[in-house]
Every structure is written in C-alpha cells, then in structure tokens.
C-alpha cells in the first residue's frame, strides 16, 4: 500500500533559523508529491508540489525536491519567520486514483 512518513514533531525554532522537515514515502506507481500547510482552525493550503522525479517545488521560500532514489520529499526553508508557525503535511497522490495519502503532520513553532 501507499504510505507517507513524516518527521515527528513538534519542531521549535528561533526566527531566521534553517528548517528541514523530513518526509519519505512508499507507493505503488509514480506518485505526485505535495506539502500542505494548516494554520490553526483552518483547512489545508497547498504549499508546493512536484509531479516527477528530480522536480523541485518551491513557494514562499519553501523548497522540496522529489528524490525517487531515496523516496523522499524533504521540506526546507532557509530562514523561518514567526508567521510560518503551522502544521505541515506531506502527501502523495497517484494520479489515476485521485485519493491522497497524508503523513501525520509536523507542528512547527517559530519563536521571535
């Protein structure tokens, strides 16, 4: 079956620190990979995505590269801000199915 494993949280960083949230996956087939962000009391927002191996998704300073050889899609940001505090979900979708499989989420808190 398909599964997504995320780095356990919570993660607490100081403002301007470097962020890495690890994500690895197992899938039958060739999935698209996603990072979503959820702010308190809200739904999920797409942060970035990559649809094939070696693709790099990027948005708002966040980046993640689709690594087929290591089945990973780690999220990185060079300098986090307090406003980045949220829960981050890694997910995969097999394009012919539409259903997504989500990781457990990683809570990030950035302190001033």
Partner 1 sequence: GAVVSQHPSWVICKSGTSVKIECRSLDFQATTMFWYRQFPKQSLMLMATSNEGSKATYEQGVEKDKFLINHASLTLSTLTVTSAHPEDSSFYICSAHSLTGDEQFFGPGTRLTVL
Q: Which residues would be at the binding site for partner 1 (CB under 8 A)?
A: 32, 34, 36, 41-46, 49, 51, 89, 93, 95, 98-100, 102-105, 107
Q: Which is nearer to partner 1, 49 or 74 (CB)?
A: 49
Task: State in angstroms the smallest separation of the CB of 15 from partner 1.
Answer: 24
82 φ/ψ angles, rounded to the nearest 5 degrees: -55, -35
The nearer residue to partner 1, 7 or 44, going by C-beta atoms, is 44
Rounded least distance, CB 96 to partner 1, Å: 9
Q: State the DSSP string of 19-75.
A: EEE-EEEE-SS--EEEEEEE-TTS-EEEEEEE-STT-EEEETTEEEE-BTTTTB--E
Other C-beta atoms lying within 10 Å of the C-beta of residue 8: 11
Query: Toward partner 1, which CB reaches closer, 46 or 79?
Result: 46
């Amino acid at each position: 079956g398909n599964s997504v494993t995320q780095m356990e949280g919570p993660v607490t960083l100081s403002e301007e620190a470097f962020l890495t949230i690890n994500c690895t996956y197992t899938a039958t087939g060739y999935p698209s990979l996603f990072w979503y962000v959820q702010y308190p009391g809200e739904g999920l927002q797409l942060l970035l995505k990559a649809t094939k191996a070696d693709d790099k998704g990027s948005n708002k300073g966040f980046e993640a590269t689709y690594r087929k050889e290591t089945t990973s899609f780690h999220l990185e940001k060079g300098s986090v801000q307090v406003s980045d505090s949220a829960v981050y979900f890694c997910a995969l979708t097999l394009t012919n199915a539409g259903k997504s499989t989500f990781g457990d989420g990683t809570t990030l808190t950035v302190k001033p």
